[in-house]
């Protein structure tokens, strides 16, 4: 096993030099914190990652949860971890003091989550899901509901989930069939099935609280009939004790990766006594649930970046130690073999991993800064639009590119990478779920092309361009970045032209034809978003190199510049072929019919 899964130096670079997170302390909400506070938080996160999480990375994979007699049994290492998460206040760290939070910037929590995910993503999802479910209760629940659930969930004693998917209804949530029947007792009777519910049952918590969407009995069809409910595995009776709430786990899925967290099948109401309590208003369930879903989409993106990081540092360590072959110009077999990292193609694969991971992580921190500004009421409308616009990119880019990046880590290891002796094959398996989780890549593509670029008459798109232009203005002061600034300027021009032409065609063609290549449009947009972040990272690195620095810092900043050069020269250039495809009127994927797939 590799002994490193993330770079604390890179985290500090993003926190202190690129995004200057301590500047958030000018706002009263964050005023109790400073750079030293943030360092202490991340020191603790690093210690938890190294001592409580990473040692069980492999063991939780080879000893996954198992189902027996209606109960899921999970790895016992999760018990002290959840205790630490609860007692340390990690689950609600960004929340106000009034609910037990620490009023910590979400940006710092995201950096800690990145560390946790790189160490052991399967372990991290337990408190992450609980935090998302608790947020829905915090935002939309009654005071009684908050008093009942939040303290137990924030303490890590009760697990939280989001329960959406059904056996015959995947992403098409408007077609769900789970029914909620009103009663005169203040609750609804829930009847139905849910599948693929992460952490939906376990023997290491006292209760599992499902934030579940269901259709009102005799309610309208489609989205207007969907409401959101709290459906606990155990409800609190009149005596204040827990009693079974007719929520049964009928089994768990056996998965390719991400094995440390159970994916559960749930049946509600077999005994006609599953009770659910309405969250917010009837008929608003899907809109409310999307608050959590968008939060989880960001978490999926950060989690994917974490896995790329773990695989990258394992591959880097192996490439620095393993000797194999000689340089192409060395023909004498008597000369000593060189380390893998001396070969250009190995360096290409390492640069792919590094540029994808570090560029995507910067984008994740960019979003979290926008979210922190929303929290303190700073340019709320603009920052909300930027977050909404960038969510499909942050969710998808590291998820999809992470498959290629972790595959490159396997390739660097050669045959050993394909075996279980090294961790890279597990990172590869673990990341494969991320393009599916919380809305497939196809859904994210339809979101950005079908909604986000035209959102509020295109204002979000304009704000996004303005943010990139701010970065370019600063970068233009450095002659060393002339090539990259020119490339990004050209990319923005192409982005404007392609988007305008696609939107102009929208009213002239079917919606199916318009959205047929939406995933390619998302890929096109993602390359530009990551290039924007790399220009920012390169600018800060060049500024730092102009100041006295240690040899180690010099190497660090030069490494950033090389990775940025790689991204612009190897990745950003792909937008040109994507633009040709996007502007083509040939819609082969629409025109082909099912019989032509038959042999």
The residues that are catalytic are 438
CA distance to 47, 115, 181, 201, 332, per residue, from 120 (Å):
13, 9, 40, 19, 45
Instruction: Count other Cβ atoms within 10 Å, centred on residue 324.
Output: 13
Long-range residue pairs from 522-525, CB within 8 A, at least 24 positions apart, any chain: 522/392, 522/393, 522/396, 522/441, 522/444, 522/445, 522/448, 522/449, 523/400, 523/574, 523/578, 524/495, 524/498, 524/575, 524/578, 524/579, 524/582, 525/393, 525/448, 525/495
Residues composing the chain: 599
- Measured at the CA of 264, the angle between CA 154 and CA 285, to 5 degrees, comes to 65
Quote the crossing angle between the two packed helices 106-140 and 35-48, to the nearest 10°.
80
Q: For 217-227, b where at least 16 C-beta lie within 10 A, e where not — what string?
A: eebeeebbbbb
Q: How far apart are CA 286 and CA 291, in angstroms?
A: 9
For 564, the 3-state DSSP assignment is: helix
For 226, the 3-state DSSP assignment is: strand
Q: How far apart are CA 574 and CA 190, in angstroms?
A: 49
Across the strands, what pairs with 209? 160, 232
For 297, the 3-state DSSP assignment is: helix
Instruction: Count other Cβ atoms within 10 Å, centred on residue 336.
Output: 7
Q: Determine the distance from the C-alpha atom of residue 153 to the mean position of all C-alpha atoms in its chain, rounded to a whole number.
A: 21
CA distance to 18, 354, 553, per residue, from 546 (Å):
16, 23, 12
Contacts of 179 (CB under 8 A, 6+ apart): 190, 191, 192, 214, 215, 216, 217
Query: Which helix (H) or strand (E) element contains residue 192?
Result: strand 188-198
Across the strands, what pairs with 229? 212, 278
Q: How far apart are CA 295 and CA 302, in angstroms?
A: 11
Six token digits for residue 398: 């590291």
Burial of residue 376 (CB within 10 Å: 0-12, 13-18, 19+) is middle
Phi, psi of 369 (to 5 degrees): -65, -45
Q: How far apart are CA 196 and CA 203, in angstroms?
A: 18
Q: Determine the distance from the C-alpha atom of residue 507 to the mean position of all C-alpha atoms in its chain, rounded to a whole number.
A: 34
Phi, psi of 561 (to 5 degrees): -65, -40
Q: How far apart are CA 194 and CA 87, in angstroms?
A: 31
For 191, the 3-state DSSP assignment is: strand
For 283, the 3-state DSSP assignment is: coil
């Amino acid at each position: 096993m590799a002994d490193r899964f993330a770079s604390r130096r890179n985290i500090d670079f993003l926190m202190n030099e690129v995004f200057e997170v301590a500047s958030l302390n000018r706002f009263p909400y964050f005023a109790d914190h400073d750079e030293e506070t943030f360092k202490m938080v991340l020191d603790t996160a690093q210690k938890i990652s190294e001592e409580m999480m990473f040692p069980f990375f492999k063991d939780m994979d080879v000893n996954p949860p198992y189902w027996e007699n209606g109960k899921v049994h999970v790895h016992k290492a999760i018990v002290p971890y959840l205790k630490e998460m609860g007692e340390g206040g990690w689950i609600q760290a960004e929340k106000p003091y009034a609910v037990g939070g620490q009023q910590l910037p979400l940006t710092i929590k995201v950096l800690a989550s990145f560390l946790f995910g790189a160490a052991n993503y399967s372990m991290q999802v337990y408190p992450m899901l609980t935090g998302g479910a608790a947020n829905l209760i915090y935002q939309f629940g009654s005071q009684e509901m908050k008093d009942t659930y939040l303290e137990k969930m924030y303490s890590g004693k009760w697990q939280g989930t989001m329960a959406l998917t059904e056996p015959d209804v995947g992403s098409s949530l408007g077609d769900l069939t789970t029914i909620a029947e009103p009663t005169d007792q203040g609750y609804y009777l829930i009847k139905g099935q849910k599948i693929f519910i992460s952490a939906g049952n376990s023997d290491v918590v006292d209760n599992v609280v499902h934030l579940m969407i269901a259709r009102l009995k005799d309610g309208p069809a489609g989205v207007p009939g969907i409401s959101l409910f709290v459906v606990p595995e155990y409800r609190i009776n009149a005596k204040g004790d827990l009693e079974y709430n007719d929520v049964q786990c009928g089994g768990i899925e056996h998965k390719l990766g991400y094995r440390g967290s159970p994916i559960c099948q749930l049946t509600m109401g077999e005994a006609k006594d599953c009770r659910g309590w309405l969250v917010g208003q009837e008929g608003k369930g899907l809109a409310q649930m999307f608050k959590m879903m968008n939060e989880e989409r960001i978490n999926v993106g950060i989690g994917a970046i974490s896995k790329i990081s773990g695989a990258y540092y394992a591959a880097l360590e192996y490439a620095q130690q393993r000797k194999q072959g000689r340089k192409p110009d060395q023909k004498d077999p008597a000369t000593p073999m060189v380390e893998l990292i001396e070969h250009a193609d190995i360096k290409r694969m390492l640069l792919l991993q590094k540029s994808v991971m570090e560029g995507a992580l910067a984008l994740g921190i960019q979003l979290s800064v926008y979210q922190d500004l929303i929290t303190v009421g700073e340019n709320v409308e603009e920052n909300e639009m930027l977050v909404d616009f960038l969510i499909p990119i942050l969710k998808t880019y590291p998820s999809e590119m992470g498959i290629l990046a972790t595959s490159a880590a396997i390739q660097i290891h050669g045959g050993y990478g394909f075996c279980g002796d090294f961790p890279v094959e597990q990172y590869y398996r673990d990341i494969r779920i991320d393009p599916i989780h919380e809305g497939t890549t196809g859904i994210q593509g339809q979101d950005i092309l079908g909604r986000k670029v035209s959102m509020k008459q295109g204002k979000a798109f304009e704000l996004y361009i303005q943010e990139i232009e701010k970065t370019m203005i600063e970068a233009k002061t450095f002659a060393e970045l002339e090539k990259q600034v020119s490339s990004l300027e050209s990319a923005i021009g192409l982005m404007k032209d392609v988007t305008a032409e696609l939107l102009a065609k929208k009213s002239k063609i079917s919606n199916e034809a318009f959205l047929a290549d939406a995933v390619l449009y998302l890929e096109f947009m993602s390359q530009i978003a990551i290039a924007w972040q790399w220009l920012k990272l390169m600018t800060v690195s060049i500024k730092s190199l102009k100041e006295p620095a240690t040899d180690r810092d010099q190497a660090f900043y030069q490494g950033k510049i090389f990775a940025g050069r790689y991204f612009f020269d190897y990745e950003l250039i792909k937008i040109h072929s994507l633009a040709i495809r996007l502007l083509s009127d040939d819609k082969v994927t629409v025109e082909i019919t099912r019989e032509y797939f038959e042999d």
